[in-house]
């Protein structure tokens, strides 16, 4: 029994199989009889999906255990060749909720609170976008090889889980699947909708893998939506390679988050230059998290 439902907001995705997925949420009626009025409803995230190019649609099951609302989805490839569907959802519980599906959105496993990603009171919409891990240039005696960052190399990157290969340089392999990283945009304060920031996860299964934020706009800000691009880059580590870049649309203003919509562009290099090198628990104050070290912070292009 649904009291109401809504889509997104933001973007949907298409899987390699052709399946179309649209994130959604519904307020489920938990109790109907309270003096003739709806007594209690709770929000739950789920996905609509279509396997016939949008002619017919079905809806999957709710994230079962936690209150979740507005959400977005990412198809996550993993190094072992497996794939999971990742959902990141708004929650009134003080933190974001993430959940995984192993059947392309028909059923989500139990959600978990992501304590590195705080929510303001009553929550706020956030955006997630997936992209293939960047390639690292590995010269060999016989030929030049491009490989995804992995093992001990990955542990030097923000949010990477411990463990993995012990060798400093991975051995070339003729077949590999570049793992998916995720970028997330959202106001960074737990007190109010202020200071739009982006976080990075290099291992999305792990709720502890999220970095502290890079604040791209200081001031009132609210809803956002991310897009991933590959730009020609003559200095790419692989000849003919591309530069990973992102675009972000977000609500913001001087006194209120809803005065205007701004557009920002930045590259993955900008993200890596402006976030801490290790994941750390978020601050719960009004202001943005401070960045460790003496690196010079760069700003993104805002229009």
Can you tell me the distance from the alpha carbon of 225 to that of 247, in angstroms, rounded to the nearest whole number? Answer: 8
Looking at the domain assignment, is residue 279 inside a domain?
no
Can you tell me the distance from the alpha carbon of 219 to that of 244, in angstroms, rounded to the nearest whole number? Answer: 27
* Averaged pLDDT score across all residues of the chain: 82
148 vs 42, residue with greater confidence: 42
Return the beta strands (E) in the chain as ranges.
2-7, 13-14, 20-31, 40-50, 58-59, 71-77, 83-89, 95-101, 112-118, 127-132, 135-139, 144-148, 180-187, 194-201, 214-232, 242-252, 260-267, 301-302
Whether residue 143 has pLDDT greater than 60: no
Highest mean pLDDT among 4-13, 31-40, 152-161, 172-181: 4-13
- Judged by DSSP in three states, 144 sits in strand
Looking at the domain assignment, is residue 5 inside a domain?
no
Looking at the domain assignment, is residue 162 inside a domain?
no
Looking at the domain assignment, is residue 151 inside a domain?
no
DSSP state of 282: P
Q: What band does 30 get if pLDDT is binned at 50, 70 and 90?
A: confident
CA triplet 230, 100, 136: central angle to 5 degrees? 35
Q: Domain range holding 267?
A: 70-134+177-274
Q: What band does 53 get if pLDDT is binned at 50, 70 and 90?
A: very high
For residue 117, what pLDDT is reported? 98
Structure tokens at 165: 């290969």
Identify the weakest region by mean pLDDT among 128-132, 164-168, 174-178: 164-168
Query: What mean pLDDT is predicted for residues 18-44?
Result: 83
For residue 149, what pLDDT is reported? 52
How many CA within 13 A on the CB side of residue 132? 13
Q: What is the CATH number of the domain that holds 104?
A: 2.120.10.10
Counting the structural domains of the chain, the total is 1
Looking at the domain assignment, is residue 11 inside a domain?
no
- Are 50 and 25 in contact, with CB atoms under 8 Å apart? no
- Are 91 and 124 in contact, with CB atoms under 8 Å apart? no
Can you tell me the distance from the alpha carbon of 214 to that of 218, in angstroms, rounded to the nearest whole number? Answer: 10
- CA distance to 21, 228, 232, 300, per residue, from 235 (Å): 36, 19, 9, 20
Looking at the domain assignment, is residue 101 inside a domain?
yes
Q: How many CB atoms lie within 10 A of CB 115?
A: 14
Looking at the domain assignment, is residue 43 inside a domain?
no
Query: What mean pLDDT is predicted for residues 170-182?
Result: 70
Looking at the domain assignment, is residue 145 inside a domain?
no
Identify the weakest region by mean pLDDT among 49-58, 130-139, 175-184: 130-139
pTM assigned to the model: 0.80
């Amino acid at each position: 029994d649904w009291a109401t439902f809504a889509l997104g907001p933001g973007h949907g995705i298409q899987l390699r199989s052709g399946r179309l997925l649209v994130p959604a949420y519904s307020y489920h009626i938990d109790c109907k009889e309270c003096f003739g009025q709806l007594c209690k409803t709770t929000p739950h995230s789920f996905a609509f999906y279509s396997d016939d190019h949008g002619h017919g649609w079905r809806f999957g099951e709710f994230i079962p255990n936690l209150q979740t609302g507005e959400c977005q989805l990412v198809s996550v490839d993993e190094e072992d060749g497996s794939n999971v569907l990742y959902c990141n959802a708004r929650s009134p519980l003080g933190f974001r909720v993430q959940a995984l599906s192993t059947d392309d959105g028909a059923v989500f496993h139990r959600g978990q609170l992501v304590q590195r990603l705080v929510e303001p009171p009553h929550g706020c919409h956030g955006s997630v976008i997936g992209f293939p891990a960047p390639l690292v240039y590995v010269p060999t005696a016989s030929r030049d090889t491009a490989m995804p960052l992995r093992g001990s190399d990955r542990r030097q990157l923000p949010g990477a889980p411990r463990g993995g290969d012990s060798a400093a340089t991975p051995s070339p392999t003729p077949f590999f699947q570049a793992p998916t990283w995720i970028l997330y945009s959202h106001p960074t304060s737990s007190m109010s909708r202020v200071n739009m920031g982006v976080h990075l996860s290099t291992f999305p299964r792990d709720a502890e893998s999220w970095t502290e934020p890079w604040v791209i706009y200081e001031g009132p800000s609210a809803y956002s939506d991310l897009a991933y691009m590959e730009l020609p880059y003559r200095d790419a580590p692989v000849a003919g390679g591309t530069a990973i870049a992102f675009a972000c649309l977000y609500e913001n203003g001087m006194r209120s988050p809803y005065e205007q919509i701004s557009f920002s562009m930045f590259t993955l290099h900008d993200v890596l230059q402006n976030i801490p090198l290790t994941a750390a628990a978020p601050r719960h104050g009004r202001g943005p998290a401070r960045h460790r070290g003496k690196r010079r912070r760069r700003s993104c292009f805002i229009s």
